[in-house]
Amino acid sequence: MSTRTPSTVRLLVTVQKTGLGAVSSHRSYSPLPIDPLARFRSIADATPTKPRVLITGSLGQLGRGLNTVYKYMYGDVVTMTDIVKVPTDAADVSSYQYLDVLSQGAMEEAVVNNRIDTLIHFSALLSAVGEQNVPLAIQVNCRGVENVLEVAKKHRLRVFIPSTIGAFGPSTPRDSTPDCTVQEPTTIYGVSKIYAERLGEYYHSKFGVDFRCLRFPGIISATKPGGGTTDYAIKIFYDALQYGKHVCYLRPDTKLPMMYDTDCMSSVVQFLTAPPNLLHRRTYNVTGFSFTPEEIATSIQKILPNFKIEYNICPIRQAIADSWPRSLDDSGAARDWGWKAEYGLEETVQVMLALIERDMAKLAPEEVTAQI
């Protein structure tokens, strides 16, 4: 089993075949009142013209899930790219090629050869790893975006570049942070993401590039996270099932906005198919729900009553989290193109535990540890 098997895919397949109540052989989970495929089906039905999509950084936390969503919606329309080898057992990766986003020429070649019309740019260094290697974060996060926008301009591409709650800072209003507000981030990740937001908006107004950007909160999926500040909200599930205990690097009262994987994927495909005349801006907030480590631990304890959480604060990640919004206002996305998250905390906890428990049953203990 791969370390990056996309949870969206597994959930889609699992629910399709069995219903969530039957996912685990060990525990019974109540069926969720959500059809995870419905939104993808209706978007595909409403937009029958198949896009031709290239995803950079597609072997990271978010890329493979999005590839599988596109495959479900339209068949093989995605060219997946990254700079790392595809895991040997990654059956979902059907069309893959090496692409370093620092090479504009190679990016252009991939776009031309694959007749791409939509470029989804996922390559990045996230908040915690970015602080450990600032020059590389500037290279990948800034030069990469410049190359993406130049190629998009030249070949008239629709381009999606995600931003993040990390694009806000301590001077931003921290509750219900709106789309348009003070942005003075204190990480290189945040600084580079503002650069991406502003450069994208500039290429849109100056050159007519169809630039689209969503500010994501922390994304929760049963896949390996890439080195961010919100990663604990994934590891906690693996630890809960494997050890019955999680040692959290954030304080118990650190509230951050988050979103479940399937909602994240849905926000991307829905936003990318929204008619341009509906968009009143090019960069929108989207979010799911907010919680603290203490609150997610309580939700996990409803299913695993013996689960315990302890704290060993990492000053660097705590400082980053303390500079970010506690909740996001995504009413602009709701109003303009109909965005709505479906998963709350309780649904997310249920799905994550069910998926990970099912996978763990198939794994040797050392493989479980290697997943996180």
Ligand X SMILES: C[C@@H](O)[C@H](N)C(=O)O
Ligand Y SMILES: NC(=O)c1ccc[n+]([C@@H]2O[C@H](COP(=O)([O-])OP(=O)(O)OC[C@H]3O[C@@H](n4cnc5c(N)ncnc54)[C@H](O)[C@@H]3O)[C@@H](O)[C@H]2O)c1
Interface residue with ligand X among 229, 266, 270, 327 (CB under 6 A) is: 229
> CB-wise, 12 or 258, nearer to ligand X?
258
> CB-wise, 155 or 235, nearer to ligand X?
235
Tell the residue number behind the tokens 């791409």, with chain if given.
Answer: 116
Interface residue with ligand Y among 54, 55, 62, 194 (CB under 6 A) is: 62
Q: Of 16-24, 77-85, 205-213, 347-355, which part binds ligand Y (CB under 6 A)?
A: 77-85
Rounded Cα distance, 16 and 38, in Å: 11
Minimum distance from CB of 362 to ligand X (Å)?
Answer: 27
What letter represents residue 276's amino acid?
P
183 makes contact with ligand X (CB under 6 A) = no
218 makes contact with ligand X (CB under 6 A) = yes
Rounded Cα distance, 249 and 220, in Å: 17
Rounded Cα distance, 351 and 356, in Å: 8
Rounded Cα distance, 168 and 170, in Å: 7
127 makes contact with ligand X (CB under 6 A) = yes
How far lies 327's CA from each of 50, 83, 169, 176, 286, in Å? Answer: 35, 34, 13, 5, 10
Which residue from 94, 116, 106, 226 is spatially nearest to 160, judged by alpha carbons? 116
Interface residue with ligand Y among 47, 86, 97, 100 (CB under 6 A) is: 100
Give which of ligand Y, ligand X, none residue 309 binds (C-beta under 5 to 8 Å, depending on kind): none
> CB-wise, 297 or 321, nearer to ligand X?
321
Give which of ligand Y, ligand X, none residue 29 binds (C-beta under 5 to 8 Å, depending on kind): none
Catalytic residue numbers? 189
257 makes contact with ligand Y (CB under 6 A) = no
228 makes contact with ligand X (CB under 6 A) = yes
Minimum distance from CB of 185 to ligand Y (Å)?
Answer: 12
How far lies 84's CA from each of 77, 97, 130, in Å? Answer: 21, 10, 18
Binding mask 146-165 for ligand Y (x = CB under 6 A): ----------------x-x-
Structure tokens at 217: 């909160």
> CB-wise, 189 or 284, nearer to ligand X?
189
Give the phi and the psi of residue 331 in degrees, each rounded to 5.
-70, -25
Encode burial over 301-319: b for 16+ CB neighbours within 10 A, e otherwise: eebbeebebeeeeeeebee
51 makes contact with ligand Y (CB under 6 A) = no
Interface residue with ligand Y among 36, 51, 60, 293 (CB under 6 A) is: 60
> CB-wise, 97 or 292, nearer to ligand X?
292
Judged by DSSP in three states, 102 sits in: coil
Minimum distance from CB of 61 to ligand X (Å)?
Answer: 8
How far lies 221's CA from each of 128, 231, 265, 311, in Å? Answer: 18, 10, 11, 22
Which residue from 349, 360, 304 is spatially nearest to 5, judged by alpha carbons? 360
How far lies 159's CA from each of 162, 279, 338, in Å? Answer: 10, 14, 20
> CB-wise, 189 or 260, nearer to ligand X?
189
Minimum distance from CB of 232 to ligand Y (Å)?
Answer: 11
216 makes contact with ligand Y (CB under 6 A) = yes
> CB-wise, 96 or 237, nearer to ligand X?
237
Minimum distance from CB of 345 to ligand Y (Å)?
Answer: 16
Q: Would you mind telling me the total number of residues written for the chain in this entry?
A: 372
Give which of ligand Y, ligand X, none residue 22 binds (C-beta under 5 to 8 Å, depending on kind): none
**Which residues are at the interface with ligand Y (CB under 6 A)?**
56-57, 59-63, 82-84, 99-102, 122-124, 126, 140, 162, 164, 216, 218-219, 226, 228, 230
